[in-house]
Structure 1
Amino acid sequence: MHLEILVKKAKEKDEKSIETLLLNYRPFMLKQCKLTYLKDYEFEDLMQICSLSLLKAIEKYKLGNNNFTTYVTNAIRNNLSYLIRQKARDNYTESLYKETGDGISIMDGLKDEFSIENSVELKFNLEKLKIVLKTLTPEELEILDWIYFKDNSLLDYSKVHNINYSTLRKQKERLLKKIRKLMQ
């Protein structure tokens, strides 16, 4: 029997058609359930969700589209994915502040990335960079500003200032080398 006719009968609540569709898509549902793991969900629970997704897809499918297989497989995958995302969201909201025992939460054990040494080193490097930038020529500063602060391309700079692109690229490389050397 043609799939569209079978879906039409299923939409009209023909139990034999619904059963046939459930049997036809059972291998796909089995595969999706084997690929899905959710804590506190049994395999049968996942199969039930897939079956309900199929039934819902039958109700919502617009006859005449001739793409029921795509529609139903996407519906099943999407519903399982939604369930996974929902469970993951629930786990995130619970897990960080959940006590692990001894009155300590996971959040208490997370490492703080801030350190005074890193902060001082960053400040030192910024001061050093300011000094290095003062030693550059106005043309070199303009190139840096054009590329890194105004987010323009080297090619655009070469066109606007009528400079050969290759020459400008080499000039940029020398400039960066100069900055690296002065930063040491």
Structure 2
Amino acid sequence: MKPGVLYSAIWLSLFIAIAETRAYHDVIWNSRFFNENFKFTKMHVRLGDQLTIVCPESYHQGMSYEYAKLYWVSEKEFEQCYTDRSQPFGVCGDEDRTETIKLNFRSRNPIPGGMEFEVGKTYYLISTSTGEAYGINNVIGGLCTEHQMRIAIEIIGGQVPVQQMRYEVHEYQSLSYTAPISSWLSLLFLASFVLYYYV
């Protein structure tokens, strides 16, 4: 086998290994499908992971659409379900279509004023909207109090396994957990590739 082919295989395996270290976490931002585990436990993520907040449209299974503004808040605001922030992190505001709000957990954000995250710290996300269009700007109680729609997100070190939280976005069924695929698969791919061309 030519060295160039072997080098290409090695680089491809490294790319696969790097891609596999990133975990994706989906959260349906509707009280009917909101994961009750968030009431008792933190979501654990690593730098480089991605969070997707899904705002489902209203037609599904007769579900009522919930208008909501999401805010990053302090621990005190998180515990007492209020906010004095003027700028929301994201908005669920169109009942006629499914919207998504995406966030990459980065230690450095190229967007001025964008959120930056640090390993070992916990960040708090809540919605104090009432779920109704007229109550989207509510800043006390709301969905946070009535349905515990709040998430504590802890940034952990890269060596700790993280469970991905994935929904079937178009079905909005119960949350399923999938552990991230480990990088040994890329090594297996490389070994198979070399054996195929050498043996």
Greater helix proportion: 1
Q: Work out whether the TM-score is over 0.5.
A: no
User: Under a length normalisation based on structure 1, what TM-score does the superposition of the two structures give?
Assistant: 0.19
Greater strand proportion: 2
User: Under a length normalisation based on structure 2, what TM-score does the superposition of the two structures give?
Assistant: 0.18
Q: Identify the structure with bigger relative contact order (alpha carbons < 8 Å, sequence gap 6+).
A: 2
Rg bigger for which structure? 1
